[in-house]
Amino acid sequence: MKLFYSPASPYVRKVMACAIALEIDRQIETVSTNPHTSPPELLAANPLSKVPCLITADGVALFDSPVICEYLDGLDGAPVLFPPAGRARWRALKQQAMGDGILDAAVGCRMESRKPKEEARDAFMARQMAAIARTLAQFEKEVPHRTLDIGSISLACALGYLDFRFAEMNWRATHPNLAAWFAVMSETPAIARTVPHDG
């Protein structure tokens, strides 16, 4: 398998964390890619010009981290990270949606912050940051489960991205329960080995 990859992308981190948790990361060749330049190799596989993009062993291109993660989880026919049914499944999927929501808002703010200031842009960023604050407050009140699944991996990657790009938020100061949860999750190989970095 081949993965179009950027070490700073939290969505790539999520895919690699799942691969490590499933112990199949050595089966994935990573191809360093800058999606903002729309390289032909990436466009041929993903017309959206986004990473992560996985080329499966049989040549199928998959993109969007939830899709790739579920594909990886089903390779041996016995899902581990996506519970197959019942309460555990909906809990994991809800937590994934909340973690991905934090990421979408944070990535959007990061992209907008690089542009000249204007009233509409500031309003957009304020709305996104408010969404992040509400979601963190929800997790602080209802501490996430510690089972390593798609939900906990998604949230851990989201919190790691806040540390990476929004350190000034200091979210731990006002969310001690969530901070304690993240400290435990950060010790797992899936999270410890995928800390984001530039370049």
Residue 54 has pLDDT above 90, yes or no: yes
List CB contacts of 26: < 8 A, sequence separation 6 or more.
none
Q: Is the pLDDT of residue 115 over 80?
A: no
Rounded Cα distance, 14 and 23, in Å: 14
Query: In terms of Cα–Cα distance, which of 25, 23, 168 is closest to 12?
Result: 25
Q: CATH 1.20.1050.10 in the chain, residues?
A: 86-188
- CATH 3.40.30.10 boundaries in the chain: 2-73
CATH architecture under which domain 2-73 falls = 3-Layer(aba) Sandwich (3.40)
Q: Is the pLDDT of residue 118 over 90?
A: no
Q: What percent of the chain has pLDDT over 70?
A: 99
Q: Record the pTM.
A: 0.94
Tokens in use for 148? Answer: 């390593």
pLDDT > 90: percent of the chain: 88
Closest CA to 71 of 18, 17, 12, 30: 18
- Distance (Å, rounded) from C-alpha 15 to C-alpha 67? 10
Whole-number Å distance between alpha carbons of 152 and 136: 14
pLDDT per position as a tens digit, 146-184: 999 999 999 999 999 999 999 999 999 999 999 999 999
Q: 5-51: per-residue pLDDT in tens?
A: 999 999 999 999 999 999 999 999 999 999 999 999 999 999 999 99
Classify domain 86-188 at the CATH class level.
mainly alpha
Instruction: With CA atoms as reference, report the closest residue to 155 among 68, 59, 163, 71.
Output: 163
Average pLDDT across the chain, whole number: 95
Distance CA(8)–CA(129), nearest Å, equals 20
**Per-residue confidence (pLDDT) for residue 199, from 0 to 100:** 64
CB of 52 within 8 A of CB of 3? yes
Q: Which two tokens stand for residue 83?
A: 């519970």
